[in-house]
Structures are given as structure tokens and as C-alpha cells.
Amino acid sequence: MRQAILGRRIVSVTLGKTDFIDDPAALKQHLPGRQIEAVERYGKFMLLWLSAVNGKARVIANGDAAPASLLVHLGMTGQIAPSPAGQPLEKHTHVCMLLDDGRELRYTDARRFGRIAYLTKALLAEELAGFGADPLEVSKKEFANRVCGRRARIKALLLDQGVLRGVGNIYADESLWRARIHPARLGTKLSRKDAEGLRRALQEILRKAIVLRGSSISDFLDAAGEPGEYQRHHRAYGREGKKCYRCKTAIRRAIVAGRSSYFCPKCQPAPRGFVALPLPQRTKKRKR
DNA sequence: CTCGATCCCTGGACGC
DNA sequence: TGCGTCCAGGGATCGA
């Protein structure tokens, strides 16, 4: 996104469905004339830093012209990328931002689980206040403190954006597999050593996944319109019934923290009394 | 404090 | 082939 849009000025905004946008009118009102001065990530959010607006004294009096930000969350199916303005609109395109170089920055999202918000500095700070540590930056001590001693299941803790910001279902399962920790174990039952193994696994997996531009399961595309490649490296996620890469035991699935969770029942010993879902009878053929 | 249930939403896979 | 049902999971919210 930096490569694609840094330094561009937004000329105008066109909106489609807006039920996932905090205040749609604010986009039309405040984005035109703003320059995109920085692009940052905060957990699962993308943050576009917008310049102040020049020469509108009346608006400045309201504080409306101060530097501000556009917060973007892709949810499950969101995509944001620039395209030539003449190009026909993809289905489910809900935001078009015309840029000063003639291209359009477009946001498409079939399921509209994403979120877009125009926020002043103060509102943004409020918005980001409740989030946890960045998983790539978190220290050994802080990670252990955030996880050990909690009564929730480790899978729920990994997915909790207030504990760590940015981890989703795929990378939670992948890191637990790598660290040989069962998703249903409780935070309180993890040793400091367990926690450190998990932190290491999580960081290694995230770094590699970033290099490979993420996991494209069905529809994820990056800002260059390219799918990621990390799905080829998945060791647990989506592999129910397939052999564990370490021990050849069939990977199992269970609902943990309300989400499908994949794990090796041998490498990742379950807590007492835990029951995985029965392996589905194979009616259809599988590949890969 | 933590849980499960429910809702939002659409496309794709699946069963019949 | 066509149609109904389920599932994917990011998050918010509610009640137990």
C-alpha cells in the first residue's frame, strides 16, 4: 500500500453500501484534498495518515482541517487496491477514492465484515487504546504475563485483540501446532517455558507469512492484486484428516473459542476431558 | 472473568 | 440441474 499510494492526494470519494463505514458522510466531507502522508499497520488495521487541509479558515475553526486518519479493517473478504479509473468496477466495490494521479483507490468487500472510519487524532487514539501487544514486538516477559495466569483457553487468548493485536484463526492454529500446544489448554496451565515456545513459534510463523504475503484461502489479494502464498505452508489449519507433518497422525478439528481449530492430537496433547469432533466420513474426494 | 449463543454478510461447497 | 442448508471467521453484544 505504501508503494501504491504514499504521497497521493485524494480528489473525491464515491460510496456504495455503507453499513460497515462508521460515518459515511464524513468520508465525503473530509477526505477530498487530503494527502496520504503515511501508511501504517496496527494489529489488523491499516492506517492511512492524512495531511491537514490548507486554506479553509472556517473549517479550521472547527478543528476539521487538522491532520487525521483513515482506519481500514479488511475483515474477512475486504480488499483495497488502486486501479485505473476507467476500469469497470468489481462486484461489491463500496468505496472509490479518486487520486490525483488519475487512479482510483477502491475498497471491495463481499461480506462487509470490514470497517472503515475517518478519525481525528484524538478519536483514533481512543479507538486504538484497548488493543494488546504487537505479536512481532512483544517481549518474552510481557507475552508470558499476558497469557499465563489467564483462565481462558490459549486459543481464545491468541485471538483476543486485547491480548495481542493482529492474530487471527489461521496463525493461532499454526503457531499452536508449531509450539505443540493444544488450543483448548488454559492460560493458567501453561508454564513460562510453554509461553516462550509459543511466542517464538508465533513470531517465526508471522515473519514467514509476511514475506510470503499472507494466506489466500479463497479470496484474499494484496494491494498489488496478488494472492499470498503462505497457505502452502499451513501445517494444521484446514488440514482435518490429513497427516501431521511431524508424526503422521491425522489432524483433528474442534470448536475452541467459537472457531474451528485444527491440531495434531498426538503432538498437541489435549487437556483432561477434551473431545475433538469426529473425523468426517469422506464422501467427497480430496486433493493435495 | 469466561463462556456460549446470536447476529451481521455473501459465496461456495455439499447433500439430496 | 437446481435448490436448500451449512460453513467460512472478523467482530459486537448479551445473558448465564
pLDDT of residue A157: 93
Residue (of A24, A73, A72, A13) closest to A48 by Cα position? A72
pLDDT tens track for A148-173: 988 889 999 999 999 999 998 989 99
SS3 A204: helix
Protein-to-nucleotide distance from the CA of A117 to the C1' of C16, whole angstroms: 34
Residue nearest to nucleotide C9 (CA to C1'): A76
Residue A62 pLDDT exceeds 90: no
Other beta carbons within 10 Å of A25: 11
pLDDT of residue A60: 52
Residue nearest to nucleotide C12 (CA to C1'): A113
pLDDT of residue A148: 92
pLDDT tens track for A183-232: 999 999 999 999 999 999 999 999 988 887 776 665 555 566 666 767 77
C-alpha cell of residue A15: 460510496
A213 in contact with nucleic chain C (CB within 7 A): no
pLDDT tens track for A89-134: 888 899 999 999 999 999 998 888 899 999 999 999 988 988 999 9
Q: In Å, what is the CA distance from A250 to each residue of A175, A182, A217, A235, A268?
A: 18, 15, 21, 12, 12
d(CA A74, CA A205): 21
d(CA A144, CA A196): 7
The cell 463500496 sits on which residue?
Answer: A94
Residue (of A82, A108, A113, A83) closest to A93 by Cα position? A108
A112 in contact with nucleic chain B (CB within 7 A): yes
C-alpha cell of residue A37: 502522508
Say what the alpha-carbon torsion angle A280, A285, A286, A288 is, to the nearest 10 degrees: 160
Residue nearest to nucleotide B6 (CA to C1'): A258
Protein-to-nucleotide distance from the CA of A79 to the C1' of B10, whole angstroms: 15
pTM for the model: 0.91
pLDDT of residue A75: 87
Residues 24-83 of A with CB under 7 A from strand B: 76
Contacts of A4 (CB under 8 A, 6+ apart): A81, A82, A223, A224
* Average pLDDT value for chain A: 87
Mean pLDDT of A271-286: 69
pLDDT of residue A91: 87
DSSP symbols for A13-27: EEES--TTBS-HHHH
A151 in contact with nucleic chain B (CB within 7 A): yes
- In degrees and rounded to multiples of 5, residue A216 shows phi and psi of -100, 105
